[in-house]
Chains A and B, each alone.
Chain A
């Protein structure tokens, strides 16, 4: 995987281990019957690279590790192994974020703003402390970004509790843009908004992309939202990428059985408004990231699973000009 991309994630692994308290380790040495530390395999060896100005959709169900991967890319969470770079520059150096070129937008508008800080201060705090603007310029800078996200300049003096969910999400976006980033990681930015507000925010993202030529990693569980904003889409399942490719190709002719099953189980209204009546659910339960199944993690629920799937982990390999899938028997032939 040549690292030519603007955002480049190279074999990122992230595991959460809970160290048992002192006594359990003591007992382990004495009688060896204490519980071993539980390890959560959140992200396993994921490689992704986004070209400049591209929007990559990252889709998956809960526990698939998409949020963790997003946080590693945004330099909030250190990776257990592998490294993340933006424009060739490492995102994190020994546990501390070292770049301002990538910013993050969070899901819950009610939790991502400091309730005791005026909107103007929240937006100006970053650029001022990084010397991008002087204190004197902060007022005009705040106005610029408020307008960019469709908010009135008078919002600067107000507090978060005076705004609706949609307006707060605009403020969160303004805060991220104020750092003049080249890339944005958006973690379920519209998931907790109503449909009509969701449309306004999606349109805002589309226009920002065009005007500021931003590279975006767009994380969501909602397939239709991802399809609308992304150039390319990566499907994640239990910490790994199972399929990656141009959006239309993924949505019309998926190669991995999980992608196919996911598309079939998501209720969608057809273009002319007719409801899609027949949904085929996937069998079985979501496996827990604490005990990932051997071989291909999807084999217990896959209609095409064979012996090889149960034992051998399929590598992510090319299945076409610009798309890849991690499956021994990809749909529509190898």
Chain B
């Protein structure tokens, strides 16, 4: 087990190097590095000073060395648009994105798994058929279109919920959270639902497929033959068995929900990291792009590692082979 964790950490470090190299090539070596660091309309002296300061006149690999040094020290340079250190900018926006992502994924899982298990347990019943219809729709309809429909019905027609923006927030430990105020929650509801629909559909499909396969095994027949109730079989045998594949998907989907937040935040103008990256792409604010990519990659790799460890914890067969 320990050797496994060490192996994964090793790989994580290697991958971060690879990504940093790709980002370096993509952003610096290809484009003119100067434009990356300083705004185009700056005087010539400052341009020359910066070139020397950041060693752009050095050979490429030296520049890469400097680039890595700065990455390690968290200095991603300053954003053109907001003229503040990029790291601080991103970290200030992260909580907003995390809020709706966590709410979406939690909602998708807590709703999706039971519905999926029921659809797998009684596939022929009409309720299961509707669940599957909803899941195919949820799985197929692009997130941005659902966002529009949600705004159109709840905000425009019914006027019950705000069409966008974050509403007021409370700051705890210097971090702005909106889910603690009713107004904040009202603002959070639609984006979270929008983000959750695709994930819930996915969870329903997986839970259904897993449950259906397990229900046909001798194990369930044997459990029934010992007089265990359907509820015990579902909650302790089936759930425990399908939890293993679901955990992997939960981890991967958490990452992809975070990425999909880009779309939702654009529609609901939710001031999260997603909106930041979209704006920075359109304004070619490259330092923000670099920082976003590096931080997000780090996040995905940690999620990947956590998922693998939980995967092994859940499945005793994968633990060190003990021969009795």
Contact = CB atoms under 8 A, between A and B. Distances in A.
Interface of A: 21-24, 27, 34-35, 38, 288, 290-291
B172 interface: no
A24 B3 CA distance: 6
A285 to B, nearest CB: 10
Contacts of A290: 323
A21 B7 contact: yes
Contact of B3 (A23, A38, A291): A23
18 contacts: A21-B3, A21-B7, A22-B7, A23-B3, A23-B6, A23-B7, A23-B10, A24-B3, A24-B7, A27-B3, A27-B6, A34-B3, A35-B3, A35-B320, A38-B321, A288-B323, A290-B323, A291-B323
Interface in B295-324: 320-321, 323
A23, A27, A290, A291 pick with most chain B CB within 10 angstroms: A23
Give the dominant DSSP class at B's interface.
helix
Contacts, number: 18
Contacts of B7: 21-24
A34 B320 CA distance: 11
A27 B7 CA distance: 10
A35 B320 CA distance: 9
Contacts of A22: 7
A27 B320 CA distance: 16
A291 B6 CA distance: 28
A219 B204 CA distance: 48
A21 B4 CA distance: 9
B114 to A, nearest CB: 37
A38 B6 CA distance: 21
Contacts of A27: 3, 6
Contacts of A38: 321
Interface of B: 3, 6-7, 10, 320-321, 323
A288 B6 CA distance: 31
Contacts of B320: 35
A21 B323 CA distance: 20
A290 B321 CA distance: 12
B220 to A, nearest CB: 24
Contacts of A288: 323
A289 to B, nearest CB: 11
A257 B82 CA distance: 87
A48 to B, nearest CB: 30
B3 to A, nearest CB: 5
Nearest to B5: A23
Nearest to B4: A23
Nearest to B320: A35
Nearest to A24: B3
Nearest to A285: B324
A24 B6 CA distance: 9
Nearest to A34: B3
A287 B240 CA distance: 32
B297 to A, nearest CB: 22
Contacts of A23: 3, 6-7, 10
Contacts of B3: 21, 23-24, 27, 34-35
A141 to B, nearest CB: 43
A21 B321 CA distance: 15
Given A21-B3, A22-B7, A38-B321, 12 more contacts: A23-B3, A23-B6, A23-B7, A23-B10, A24-B3, A24-B7, A27-B3, A27-B6, A35-B320, A288-B323, A290-B323, A291-B323
A34 B2 CA distance: 9
A25 to B, nearest CB: 10
Contacts of A34: 3
B22 to A, nearest CB: 24
A330 to B, nearest CB: 32
Contacts of B10: 23
A238 to B, nearest CB: 15
Contacts of B6: 23, 27
A291 B324 CA distance: 11
A21 B3 CA distance: 9
A35 B6 CA distance: 14
A91 B253 CA distance: 52
Contacts of A24: 3, 7
B37 to A, nearest CB: 39
Nearest to B9: A23
Nearest to A28: B3
Contacts of B321: 38
Nearest to A290: B323
The 5 A-B residue pairs with the shortest CB-CB distance in the complex, in nearest-first order: A23-B7, A24-B3, A27-B3, A34-B3, A23-B3
B122 to A, nearest CB: 30
A27 B10 CA distance: 12
Contacts of A21: 3, 7
A292 to B, nearest CB: 13
A301 B168 CA distance: 77
B3, B320, B321 pick with most chain A CB within 10 angstroms: B3
A286 B7 CA distance: 35
A50 to B, nearest CB: 36
B254 to A, nearest CB: 26
A22 B11 CA distance: 11
B109 to A, nearest CB: 32
A290 B323 CA distance: 9
Contacts of A35: 3, 320
A291 B323 CA distance: 10
A24 to B, nearest CB: 5
Nearest to A23: B7
A22 B320 CA distance: 16
Nearest to A35: B320
B308 to A, nearest CB: 14
B58 to A, nearest CB: 34
A291 B3 CA distance: 23
A334 B222 CA distance: 51
A35 B7 CA distance: 14
